[in-house]
Amino acid sequence: MNRLTKEARARILHLLCEGSSIRAVTRLTGASKTTVTKLLVDAGSAAAWYQSRVLRNLECKRVQVDEIWGFVGAKRRNAPAEKKETGEAGDAWLWVAIDADTKLVPHWLVGRRDLKNCVDFIINLAARLEGRFQLTTDAFHIYREVVEAVLGKQVDYAQVIKVFGKSPEAVPGRYSPPQCIGAKIRKISGNPDEKHISTSYAERNNLNIRMHSRRMTRLTNAFSKKVENHAHAMALHFLYYNFVRIHKTLRTTPAMAAGVTKRLWEMSDVVDVLEAWEARR
């Protein structure tokens, strides 16, 4: 069986991480769609495996959490009822946590926007962090009971409650995001520092996700066709974001700023992670 060289793998993965669709990658590299898709699946599995091992005992002190909407197969209103029930098609939310100081993403989760996934997300986020920290979320009602049940008094927790109105530039029949016309903060538990109660970094990170992962770009046909592939793409994205991509403000990578690694990664290092995962498999 023919095997891609390390350089070819690195080039394909780099294109995927910089927002190219699978079909665009096939045109640029000459690799088949099947080859690119399989590489994405394997690299995503390796990225999730590696980060679950190294993103531990993190000393994040100010954590912001947000959810970003996406879909798989078809938008919810167009997806078959049986596939919506099983989660094979329709809404696919990405739960993301970010450290406001180092900009590291210690944990993420692809799933529905419901109680089960919120519990899984908060439990696994807490397992990666060391010591007491301040947590800020949006006003999604599930957070309050889940954070209280999972973290109790071990966290300083607050919410940002935003008020939205209709965009004055909205065109009937065309997507236009709602306009934020106000916000207020609500302290929930512990003693959160009011000047650090914010979800701004999490929301800014949402733009990174939409710009660097073609599957999350709005109003395109490059969306994921399978929820598994969507999760693999997100895992690969966050490996690239945390370890390879230099953050403009930090002038280094989030992983270096957080002390997870002591050097700047290249795409060849991402391939090394993939090869280590393949060897274990």
176 compared with 129, residue with greater pLDDT: 129
Q: How far is CA 7 from the centre of its chain?
A: 26
Nearest 5°: phi and psi at 223? -65, 160
CB neighbour list of residue 122: distance below 8 Å, 6 or more residues apart: 143, 146, 147, 150, 151
Separation of alpha carbons 276 and 43, rounded Å: 11
Q: Is residue 1 part of a domain?
A: no
Q: Is residue 76 part of a domain?
A: yes
- The pLDDT score that the predictor gives to residue 171 is 63
Across the range 230-236, mean pLDDT stands at: 95
Number of domains in the chain: 1
- The pLDDT score that the predictor gives to residue 240 is 97
| H, E, C per residue of 58-89 | ECCCEEEEEEECCEECCCCCCCCHHHHHHCCC
* Positive/negative CA dihedral, 96, 235, 45, 60: negative
**Helices (H), ranges, 134-266:** 142-151, 200-212, 227-243, 254-257
- The pLDDT score that the predictor gives to residue 187 is 92
Separation of alpha carbons 239 and 227, rounded Å: 19
- The pLDDT score that the predictor gives to residue 79 is 82
Q: Is residue 229 part of a domain?
A: yes
Residue with tokens 């236009």: 176
Q: Is residue 235 part of a domain?
A: yes
Range of the domain at 230: 6-280
- The pLDDT score that the predictor gives to residue 33 is 94
Q: What is the pLDDT of residues 15-41, one digit of tens each?
A: 999 999 999 999 999 999 999 999 999
Q: What is the pLDDT of residues 251-270, one digit of tens each?
A: 999 999 999 999 999 999 99
67-105: burial string, b at 16+ Cβ within 10 Å, e else: bbebbbbeeeeebeeeebeeebbbbbbbbbbbbbbbbbb
In 3D space, the residue among 262, 246, 96 whose CA is nearest the CA of residue 254 turns out to be: 246
From residue 193, how far is each of 160, 188, 190, 206 by CA, in Å?
A: 13, 12, 10, 24
Q: Is residue 227 part of a domain?
A: yes
The percentage of the chain sitting over the pLDDT mark of 70, rounded to a whole number, equals 94
End-to-end C-alpha distance for the chain, whole angstroms: 18
Say if residue 142's pLDDT is above 50.
Answer: yes
Query: What CATH number is associated with residue 76?
Result: 3.30.420.10
Separation of alpha carbons 202 and 6, rounded Å: 34
Proportion of the chain in helix, strand, coil states, percent, rounded to 5: 45, 20, 35
Count the Cβ atoms, other than its own, within 10 Å of residue 25. 24
- Which amino acid is located at 144 in the chain? R
Q: How far is CA 46 from the centre of its chain?
A: 16
Indicate the pLDDT class of residue 153, thresholds 50, 70 and 90.
confident
Q: Is residue 264 part of a domain?
A: yes
Q: Is residue 20 part of a domain?
A: yes
- Lowest-pLDDT choice from 151-165, 178-192, 263-277: 178-192
- The pLDDT score that the predictor gives to residue 1 is 46
Mean pLDDT of the chain: 91
Say if residue 224's pLDDT is above 90.
Answer: no
Q: What is the pLDDT of residues 65-122, one digit of tens each?
A: 999 998 888 878 878 888 877 778 888 899 999 999 999 999 999 999 999 999 999 9
